[in-house]
A and B are shown apart, each in its own frame.
Chain A
Amino acid sequence: MKQRLIEFWNSPVIDALLPVLATLAALLVGALMLLALGANPLVAYGALLDGAFGSLNSIADTLVRATPLLFVGVGICIAFRGGVTNIGGEGQLVVGALCATMVGLTFPDGPALVVVPLALLAGFLGGAVWGGIPGLLKAHFNVNEILSTVMMNQIAVQGMNFLLIGPLIDPVQLERASRIPQTARISAAFDLPRLAPTRLHLGTFLAIVMAVLVYILLWRTTLGYRIRAVGLNREAARYAGINVPRHIALSLALSGAMAGLAGAVQIFGVNFRMFTDGSATGFTGSAGFHGIVAALFGQLHPLGTIPASFFFGGLLVGANRLQRAVQVPAALIVTLNGLVVVFVVGTELWRQQRARRRVVERPSEHDEPSLTAIPPTAASLEGKA
């Protein structure tokens, strides 16, 4: 009996459940905080559940909220499989949104069937460029992509602020001299179709399709095979005739393209114009970061990222309801999200360790690329210390 239990505890089933358990643990810690603030955790979490999944409308809101997470998360999967880490989802999302907006504003009278796909394509390409630049730097000069993607976020935000205050600002804002940094609304003819009366739009469907396509790309095409080979063992990939730098750059570019698509879909499905509060979060709602968590949730598999994004989207939507229901400071909601992130990322490390222990690694082998692998430079610095 005891043996059975141990076996079950060590089985991959538990691995798949770990992110859920981590979330529950985070909510437990959150409950303590709620208690400390004098709120009833049961009421609070009831509101959270209700807000996320309680009605058709709330489910639709959850799906809408999950959509950019899914796009970004799928992109994260591509990067991870190619052996690189993309922390630049925020910037790529912003650039994608800007590009798509510009297409929408440039052809206000064009046919929607042409302009919308064109705008989505522009978002895709904008994100691809924003991810591809760190990719090329990594591929050819071995510039650490974690640093460069984060820096590209800054550049994107500053570029967005500049454009929205100046060249792209809504002419109405200029007339009124109120100068709110936002563009004009794109033509209503371009709005993505919705499932009335909810806010659910076609973009969600598109995101699911992309997740499936990316799965096919990675596991059913020669290109995906090459990307995975490069991600698992660069030396062996090079030996097998694969152009390693090209595929490193490509996986970051594709990863960025997914985030760019997220931005474009936000414009055409949710916001209908680009705006800024000076930071990236104002527009993205941190989808560029939450998408990473969703991907981790989904065990870095595009198909696993689908339910994971919905789960996390629900958490974000429900948290708003929670706040209103028990009147806690907004900071608590941020803390709660943060807790979930910390717990999920933490258990992800644990999961990798478990997986290693289960297969009992052969010494000194190239394991799955790990999010936590210490880059050689860090190891060498330690050596000098």
Chain B
Amino acid sequence: MNDQPKPILEMLGITKRFPGVLANDHVDLELYPGEVLALLGENGAGKSTLMNILVGLYRPDEGEIRMRGQRVEIHSPRDAAALGIGMVHQNFMLVKTMTVAENIILGLSDLPFVPDLREVSRRIRELSQRYRLQVDPDAYIWQLSVGEQQRVEILKLVYRGAEVLILDEPTAVLTPQEAQELQGVLRIMTAEGKSAIFITHKMEEVMTFSDWVRVLQQGRLTAVRKTGETSPQELARLMVGREVLFRLDRKDCVLGEKVLELHSVSALDDRGLPALREVAFDIHGGEILGIAGVAGNGQSQLAEVVTGLRRTAQGRILIRGKDLTHASPLELIRAGVSHIPADRIGMGAVGNMAVADNLAMKGYRGSPLSERGVLRPRNILEFAKRMIEAFRISTPTPNTRIKFLSGGNIQKAILAREIDACDGLMVAVYPARGLDVGATEAVRKMLLSQREQGLAVLLISEDLEELLTIADRITVLFAGQIMGIVPSAETTVEMLGLMMAGVPLADLPALGTHDPTPGSSPA
């Protein structure tokens, strides 16, 4: 009788205030069965807040939520689960020392005292087949890659019978390959009539994943579009409020002295298995060396070895000609090495310290932030205000604990601190991860300006376009080995793709004879 489908979920006039910010300002949202809704907005626009309200982590100050037309009160994630709403947070909430199966049933309310784990495993296998979410139910979480952990999170939701899946920046941590797979998973689910809300900063994903787009700007809903009737350019404009240039100006740079040299460096991963095998390259001042590769091929270990966080098992590391192979993190910081880590909340910031204290984390050792071991609070505040302004970090006050900032703004604070402290080498690991289009543009500009100032940049990224636009040379890591080093002007996405799949540069058709100057050839 009624050919108009009814929304499964509605949010009406949701308002949420935090001290000093209006995170959501009368936001409306509708979700239909079998559809994917993309939620777009700049860093700090209020996307995560809105979703946290939906799963009962926050209580809205105003507004109501309706599920299948019925008004509902959601006080906790458990209430949300009972209604069939589940969320995969950007920071996974898995117990590392437990198995997949144990994690999936953890926190289930109707669990028998002694759960039948064999039955649980069987059901997990069944579900993972149905949704193509391959994982071994008996594997321990710490053994899994980030992509696999995300599959566990999604399985956890479907195991509990979620009808509405919320994914907060799920692809930020995935390789392009894994992002493709996730898209497939969502297809199967929507075909079954489940629906999803999907937060991302990547325009291509919005265009391919979603049916509808809603754009938030500073807490307000500013646009609702059918995906088929909009374009990435329009969406970017709606988000930022101005035209965004997807183009960067890259000046020619004079190469300076050698800043970083790696001589056949090998290292082990946390499990004691080889993660880097005889890696050799060098970077000059005024140069950006990009590291490409599928995640888990030694990139994070490479960054850790260069910054002193991981022991070098073999080989030598030189900075400006000085042997710093077994130097401590502090010695490397003193040598002018900065590091934007991949894990920003776990490593890059102390969540429970103020934004200002986090910004001071590198500079606190000396004047003007401290004087003979005594902190100078006024100077720290002064410094923080300067950074907040220069890097457009959106925070209520410099004294707000950094964990209350939006994901993108935490990343901006880390960037600010590291760029300010950098004096020689910048090790940037996925620096634009989780940043909105405007901020991504800003980060790339900053890296380029570092290069123009004669600093050396080691840029680890999964985004090949990013590497091709801003790196001078690109190295591909595969299984801890260097597949080749190529000037980015002379390479293509296809070439990089082949190397990422494990084909050494020397074996590439027609291009194999290329000499990768000015870096030393891989040993």
A residues neighboring B (CB under 8 Å): 219-223, 225, 228-229, 232-233, 235-243, 359-368, 376, 379-380, 383
Nearest chain-A residue to B99 (Cβ)? Answer: A383
B329 touches A238 (CB 8 A): yes
Contacts of B99 in A (CB 8 A): 383
Contacts of A238 in B (CB 8 A): 309, 329
CA distance A323 to B373 in the complex (A): 51
Segment from B159-167, B190-198, B275-283, B344-352 that makes contact with A: B344-352
B347 touches A235 (CB 8 A): yes
Contacts of B57 in A (CB 8 A): 360-361, 363
B329 touches A241 (CB 8 A): yes
CA distance A241 to B348 in the complex (A): 12
Contacts of B309 in A (CB 8 A): 238-239
Contacts of B353 in A (CB 8 A): 228-229, 232
CA distance A241 to B308 in the complex (A): 9
Among B102, B350, B404, point to the contact of A233 (Cβ < 8 A).
Answer: B350
Among A223, A359, A383, point to the contact of B97 (Cβ < 8 A).
Answer: A383
Contacts of B92 in A (CB 8 A): 364
A236 touches B346 (CB 8 A): yes
A239 touches B351 (CB 8 A): no
A383 touches B364 (CB 8 A): no
Chain B nearest CB from A216 CB (Å) reads 9
CA distance A380 to B142 in the complex (A): 12
Nearest chain-A residue to B380 (Cβ)? Answer: A225
Chain A nearest CB from B116 CB (Å) reads 14
CA distance A223 to B52 in the complex (A): 37
Contacts of B52 in A (CB 8 A): 360
Q: Does B248 contact A (CB under 8 A)?
A: no
A379 touches B375 (CB 8 A): no
Nearest chain-B residue to A229 (Cβ)? Answer: B350
Contacts of B333 in A (CB 8 A): 240-241
CA distance A105 to B473 in the complex (A): 74
B93 touches A241 (CB 8 A): no
Nearest chain-B residue to A242 (Cβ)? Answer: B330
B345 touches A221 (CB 8 A): no
A220 touches B329 (CB 8 A): no
Report if A232-B350 is in contact (Cβ < 8 Å); known contacts: A243-B330, A365-B345.
yes
Query: Nearest 6 pairs between A and B by C-beta?
Result: A241-B330, A380-B97, A383-B98, A364-B91, A363-B89, A233-B350
Report if A235-B346 is in contact (Cβ < 8 Å); known contacts: A240-B362, A367-B352, A379-B95.
yes
Chain B nearest CB from A374 CB (Å) reads 10
Which of A219, A235, A239, A242 has the most chain B CB atoms inside 10 A of its CB? A239
A232 touches B352 (CB 8 A): yes
Report if A222-B374 is in contact (Cβ < 8 Å); known contacts: A239-B348, A364-B92, A383-B95.
yes
| Known contacts A222-B375, A236-B346, A366-B345; 17 further A-B pairs (Cβ under 8 A) | A219-B375, A220-B377, A221-B370, A222-B365, A225-B375, A229-B361, A240-B329, A241-B362, A243-B330, A360-B52, A362-B403, A364-B89, A365-B345, A366-B351, A366-B352, A383-B97, A383-B99
B373 touches A364 (CB 8 A): no
A222 touches B97 (CB 8 A): no
A243 touches B328 (CB 8 A): yes
A241 touches B328 (CB 8 A): yes
Chain A nearest CB from B312 CB (Å) reads 16
Which of B99, B339, B365 has the most chain A CB atoms inside 10 A of its CB? B365
Among A222, A359, A361, A368, point to the contact of B364 (Cβ < 8 A).
Answer: A222
A220 touches B348 (CB 8 A): no
Nearest chain-A residue to B103 (Cβ)? Answer: A383
Contacts of A221 in B (CB 8 A): 370, 373-375
Q: Does B287 contact A (CB under 8 A)?
A: no
B102 touches A383 (CB 8 A): yes
Nearest chain-B residue to A381 (Cβ)? Answer: B97
CA distance A361 to B91 in the complex (A): 13
CA distance A378 to B309 in the complex (A): 27
B residues neighboring A (CB under 8 Å): 52, 57-58, 89, 91-93, 95, 97-99, 102, 307, 309, 328-330, 332-333, 339, 341, 343, 345-353, 357, 360-362, 364-365, 370, 373-375, 377, 401, 403-404
Contacts of B58 in A (CB 8 A): 360
Nearest chain-A residue to B92 (Cβ)? Answer: A364
B339 touches A239 (CB 8 A): yes
B352 touches A380 (CB 8 A): no
Chain B nearest CB from A49 CB (Å) reads 39
Contacts of B360 in A (CB 8 A): 225
B349 touches A236 (CB 8 A): yes
B93 touches A220 (CB 8 A): no
CA distance A242 to B95 in the complex (A): 27
Report if A225-B357 is in contact (Cβ < 8 Å); known contacts: A240-B362, A367-B352.
yes
Report if A365-B351 is in contact (Cβ < 8 Å); known contacts: A221-B374, A223-B373.
yes
Contacts of A240 in B (CB 8 A): 329, 333, 361-362
CA distance A232 to B401 in the complex (A): 12
Chain A nearest CB from B167 CB (Å) reads 14
Contacts of B339 in A (CB 8 A): 239
A363 touches B375 (CB 8 A): no
CA distance A368 to B350 in the complex (A): 10
Contacts of A235 in B (CB 8 A): 343, 346-347
CA distance A312 to B354 in the complex (A): 32
Chain B nearest CB from A299 CB (Å) reads 15
Contacts of B329 in A (CB 8 A): 238-241
Contacts of A363 in B (CB 8 A): 57, 89, 91, 93
Chain B nearest CB from A5 CB (Å) reads 17
Contacts of B102 in A (CB 8 A): 383
CA distance A238 to B348 in the complex (A): 10
Report if A222-B373 is in contact (Cβ < 8 Å); known contacts: A241-B328, A241-B329, A380-B98.
yes
Contacts of B95 in A (CB 8 A): 379, 383
B350 touches A365 (CB 8 A): no
Nearest chain-B residue to A369 (Cβ)? Answer: B352
Contacts of A223 in B (CB 8 A): 373
Nearest chain-A residue to B53 (Cβ)? Answer: A360
CA distance A22 to B468 in the complex (A): 63
Contacts of A220 in B (CB 8 A): 374-375, 377
Contacts of A364 in B (CB 8 A): 89, 91-93, 345
Chain A nearest CB from B324 CB (Å) reads 13
Nearest chain-B residue to A367 (Cβ)? Answer: B352
Nearest chain-B residue to A366 (Cβ)? Answer: B351
Chain B nearest CB from A244 CB (Å) reads 10
CA distance A361 to B56 in the complex (A): 12
Nearest chain-B residue to A368 (Cβ)? Answer: B352
CA distance A241 to B404 in the complex (A): 24
Contacts of B357 in A (CB 8 A): 225
Nearest chain-A residue to B360 (Cβ)? Answer: A225
Chain A nearest CB from B241 CB (Å) reads 27
Among B89, B350, B370, point to the contact of A237 (Cβ < 8 A).
Answer: B350
Contacts of A225 in B (CB 8 A): 357, 360, 364, 375
Contacts of B328 in A (CB 8 A): 241, 243
Which of A236, A364, A380 has the most chain B CB atoms inside 10 A of its CB? A236
Nearest chain-A residue to B308 (Cβ)? Answer: A241
Contacts of B349 in A (CB 8 A): 233, 236
Contacts of A359 in B (CB 8 A): 401, 404
Contacts of A366 in B (CB 8 A): 345-346, 350-352
Contacts of A237 in B (CB 8 A): 350
13 contacts between A and B (CB under 8 A): A219-B375, A220-B377, A221-B370, A221-B374, A222-B370, A233-B346, A235-B347, A240-B362, A241-B330, A359-B404, A360-B52, A367-B351, A383-B99
B97 touches A236 (CB 8 A): no
Chain A nearest CB from B92 CB (Å) reads 7
CA distance A222 to B330 in the complex (A): 15
